[in-house]
Chain A
Amino acid sequence: MQDEAVFEETFFIEGGNFSKAGKVSAEVKRVLKEIGLDASIIRRLAIAVYESEMNVVAYADKGEMNLQIFPDKVRVSIQDQGQGIPDIELAMQEGYSTATEAIREMGFGAGMGLPNMKKNVDFFEIESTVGEGTRIRMEVLVELWGSSE
């Protein structure tokens, strides 16, 4: 059954804006810290969110990240508008990258983004339509009620 989200916030990512890259994941991390989630949970989510934000910046025109906190999990959904991914299985392979020269010059495009995301979360779902965009949904299990007095 779908619980109600105890907390929800949406962030916007500007495609191609490398100087702003990482701002959204920094903000998400700040929120999670203020809530007082476990440090290892925050670290995993921060990595996953950062990688997904970088993908939007590097490959898409724009994207929206939705953070939802439930009593038993944290869900991050990213929907972008852009070129999309033609072969998802290929994209999920470590080391596979479609980064342009410009992106590689900035230090990105190692081909580890999507695999890294999947490694750090408990649930990972990805869909994409070429010419339209990509949608990713990730969840990390937490115990929100457990630590309350």
Chain B
Amino acid sequence: MKESIFHSVALLEEVCIGCTACLQACPTEAIRLREGKARIMENRCIDCGVCIRTCPVSAKIARTNEMHELRRFSYNIAVVPPELYSQFGDDVTPEMILRAILKLGFDEVFEVAMVSEEITLATKKYLERKDIKRPVLSFNCPAVVRLITVRFPDLVDHLLPLKSPMGVAGKRLRESRPAELGLSSEKVGIFYITPCPARMTRIRQPMTESEVYYNGAISIADIYGDILIKLKEVPSESELDLHKSGGSGIGWGAIGGESKALLMEDCMYVDGMVNVLKIFEEIEKGELSKLNYLECMACTGGCVGGPLMVDNVFIARNKIKKLRQRYEDQSPIDPEQVIKLYREGRYHHQKKLELNLIDPLDSSPVQAIKKMKERKHILDTLPGIDCGACGAPNCRALAEDVVQGRAKVTDCIFVLFEQANEMAQRVADWTARLPSSMKTQHKRRAEPEKLTLKEVGK
């Protein structure tokens, strides 16, 4: 068994009303109602945040770090992804936003978009190879990568073996800044400004790195209001020149950004968990093998549509497009240096990705077959309306829960009702049968008062 897995997505039990909405929405069927609360099964949750979006009472949250935690460090670096630039008015430039972030209490800002351009170039080099499995899948979205480790093991070999821009940024900052600043590493705080819980989880438990480079992640929703306030204080002129990233890297903030940056034939992009699931099933069938690169993002719109983002996703996506075009001629990278780093393997993962499969039913195929038959048998007795009243998202999930010892078949209220009905029938049968020793009718001296239905209930 693994040590306990960190999950950013969590349930606020006091707020949860047990309505079953999130059960049905979860792409890995990781939620069950127990004691009236929608609890998450740790080994299935991929921190995609769909439940956060679905919950009508905001009982599902993303656990992220808070700004006061910066006080633990002498020097704090904010690692800022380009999707943040999409959240404000047209007259607010990336430069202004970065300055506002400094005013929030950070000592330094680093733009993820800078490194995204490096990864784009490294990816282009990787895609020159003929010996790789196609389509190559983007490693950028942590929820999508986790989905693969949980449900699509055949696709692991398709994943781009290069770090995400967030990963490159973290490692580079952690390995160089403390020394450059003359501080010990524990005194330097590196925080990712995050649009979603999946990135928070990846920061705390990177699947392909042997070390943790970040100290935490700050939710964009949490600091949005403060940024608005600080934007008013930001002077329009200053010696600072914080915004260095180009349109190609900024484009990564929305779906299609990677593909557009690659400028290669046969690149495709898919957004939204439901669509990603479908496309993965196609690839498993052997479809799309001629496709070069596939960019999949769990959130509609890409990172601009993350659960911790504030602005309307379509407006934000359009803003990214405008920024991409406005800064398309700006490029901060040194292509030769990037290719050199690529050849040295500096962008590659340090560790192999571990699987965390939900299938098979049992470690022994023989037992698995037994369980499969039992599950089918149980499923045949269930009503098949997938109502969620039993606490599982659908009847098939309940059948499997029963087989795996996680639930009872009487959790289904229809089964319970049928069984109770049957019991009532039997009791009625018995009471109709007088013992043989008695006469068929006995004479009473008086008739007892007949009970009405109303009184029975009292």
A residues adjacent to B (C-beta < 8 A): 6-7, 22, 25-26, 29, 31, 33-37, 39, 43, 46-47, 50, 69, 144-145, 147-149
B residues within 8 A CB of A145?
366
Q: A34-B368, A36-B368 are in contact. Are A149 and B363 (CB under 8 A)?
A: yes
Can you name the residue of chain A whose Cβ is closest to the Cβ of B369? A7
Instruction: Give Cα A71 to B368, complex, Å.
Output: 13
A35 close to B284 (CB less than 8 A): no
A residues within 8 A CB of B360?
33-36
Q: A29-B284, A50-B285, A147-B365 are in contact. Are A39 and B153 (CB under 8 A)?
A: yes
B154 close to A36 (CB less than 8 A): no
Q: Among A26, A46, A69, A148, which residue has its beta carbon within 8 angstroms of that of B364? A: A148
Q: Among A7, A22, A36, A50, which residue has its beta carbon within 8 angstroms of that of B373? A: A7
B residues within 8 A CB of A25?
285
Can you name the residue of chain B whose Cβ is closest to the Cβ of A29? B284
Residues 341-366 of B contacting A (Cβ, < 8 Å): 359-366
B369 close to A6 (CB less than 8 A): yes
Give the interface centre of A6, A36, A147 by most chain B CB atoms within 10 Å: A36
Instruction: Give Cα A117 to B170, complex, Å.
Output: 48
Q: List 20 A-B contacts (CB under 8 A).
A: A6-B369, A7-B373, A22-B285, A26-B281, A29-B284, A34-B359, A34-B360, A34-B372, A35-B365, A35-B368, A35-B372, A36-B360, A36-B362, A36-B363, A43-B154, A69-B369, A145-B366, A147-B365, A148-B366, A148-B367
Can you name the residue of chain A whose Cβ is closest to the Cβ of B366? A148
A26 close to B368 (CB less than 8 A): no
Q: A31-B372, A39-B153, A47-B286 are in contact. Are A6 and B281 (CB under 8 A)?
A: no
A117 smallest CB distance to B (angstroms): 13
Instruction: Give Cα A37 to B281, complex, Å.
Output: 19
A102 smallest CB distance to B (angstroms): 19
B263 smallest CB distance to A (angstroms): 26
B residues within 8 A CB of A22?
285
Instruction: Give Cα A121 to B285, complex, Å.
Output: 17
Which 3 interchain pairs have the tightest Cβ spacing? A36-B360, A148-B364, A35-B368
A residues within 8 A CB of B365?
35-37, 144, 147-148
Can you name the residue of chain B whose Cβ is closest to the Cβ of A33? B359
Binary A-proximity of B362-397 (CB < 8 A = 1, otherwise 0):
111111110011000000000000000000000000
Q: A35-B372, A43-B154, A47-B286 are in contact. Are A147 and B364 (CB under 8 A)?
A: yes
Instruction: Give Cα A37 to B372, complex, Å.
Output: 14
Q: Interface size bucket, B side?
A: 10 to 19
B residues within 8 A CB of A147?
363-365
A residues within 8 A CB of B284?
26, 29, 46
A34 close to B366 (CB less than 8 A): no
A36 close to B361 (CB less than 8 A): yes
B residues within 8 A CB of A35?
360-361, 365, 368-369, 372
A149 close to B364 (CB less than 8 A): yes
Known: A36-B359, A46-B286, A145-B366. 7 other contacts (CB 8 A): A7-B369, A22-B285, A26-B281, A31-B372, A35-B360, A35-B368, A36-B364
Instruction: Give Cα A27 to B281, complex, Å.
Output: 11
B377 smallest CB distance to A (angstroms): 13
A residues within 8 A CB of B363?
36, 147, 149
B355 smallest CB distance to A (angstroms): 11
A residues within 8 A CB of B362?
36
B residues within 8 A CB of A36?
359-365, 368
Residues 395-435 of B contacting A (Cβ, < 8 Å): none
Instruction: Give Cα A46 to B281, complex, Å.
Output: 13
B372 close to A39 (CB less than 8 A): no
B residues within 8 A CB of A148?
364-367
B residues within 8 A CB of A34?
359-361, 368, 372
B residues within 8 A CB of A46?
284-286
Instruction: Give Cα A68 to B241, complex, Å.
Output: 68
Can you name the residue of chain A whose Cβ is closest to the Cβ of B367? A148
A42 smallest CB distance to B (angstroms): 8
Instruction: Give Cα A26 to B369, complex, Å.
Output: 18
B291 smallest CB distance to A (angstroms): 13
B440 smallest CB distance to A (angstroms): 55
A7 close to B286 (CB less than 8 A): no
